[in-house]
Amino acid sequence: MTNGLSPRLLAIVDALPLQQGMRVLEIGCGPGAASREITRRIGDGHVRAIDRSAKAIAQARAASRAEIAAGRLSLRQVAIEDFQLDAGEQHFDIAVAVRVGALDGRHPEAGKIALQRLKAALTAQGRLFIDGGNPLREIVLHG
C-alpha cells in the first residue's frame, strides 16, 4: 500500500483529473488516506474532506495533522445531503465519492438532495466522480 492507500483507492485517485491548485471535495473520506494523497498531488490546492461519521473524521484529523497545519486539507463532519459551503468559501473543481449511499443508488431520496448540494458547491465546470466505474464513473451535474 502506498501512503496507506489500498490498490483500489490508489486506482481511484490515479483516475481523477487532478491539476495543481484545484479545490477538491471528498465525500465519505473515512480515515483520510485518499484525501492526503489528493492533497499531495494538487500542490497549493485545497481538499475539503467530509464524512458523516465522527469516528472517521477523528481518525482523518489524527492522521492528517501536517496537511491540516499547512492549510491544504480541511475536515468536516457532515453528510453530503446536509453539506453547504461556508460563507465566503470558494466552489470546488472536483468532487469524489467512494461508497457513499446517497450517490451510489442505495438511498435515492438522499441522492436527489445530495446532487442539489453538489451542484451548489461545485464551480460551473465542476465534475463529480463516484466509484463503480473502471475505477470511476462521472455523474453529469450540468446541462
Number of Cβ within a 10 Å radius of residue 4: 14
Q: Is 89 helix (H, G, I), strand (E, B) or coil?
A: coil
Q: What is the pLDDT of residue 104?
A: 83
Domain spans of the chain, in order of start: 7-139
Identify whether the C-beta of residue 28 lies closer than 8 Å to the C-beta of residue 75. Answer: no
Give the model's pLDDT for residue 1: 47
Instruction: Quote the pLDDT of residue 143.
Output: 56
Tell me the C-alpha to C-alpha distance, in Å, between residue 38 and each of 17, 64, 131. 11, 12, 16
User: With the CA atoms of 76, 99, 96 and 78 taken in that order, what torsion angle do they form, in degrees rounded to the nearest 10?
Assistant: -20
CATH-assigned architecture of domain 7-139: 3-Layer(aba) Sandwich (3.40)
Separation between Cα atoms, residue 22 and residue 17, nearest integer Å: 10
Nearest-CA neighbor of 140 among 119, 114, 113?
Answer: 119
Q: What per-residue confidence (pLDDT) applies to 4?
A: 74
Report residue 45 as a C-alpha cell: 490546492
pLDDT digits (tens), the chain, 143 positions: 446 789 999 999 999 999 999 999 999 999 999 999 999 999 999 999 999 999 999 999 999 999 999 999 999 999 999 999 999 999 999 999 988 988 888 888 999 999 999 999 999 999 999 998 889 999 988 65
Handedness of CA 8, 94, 139, 84 (dihedral sign): positive
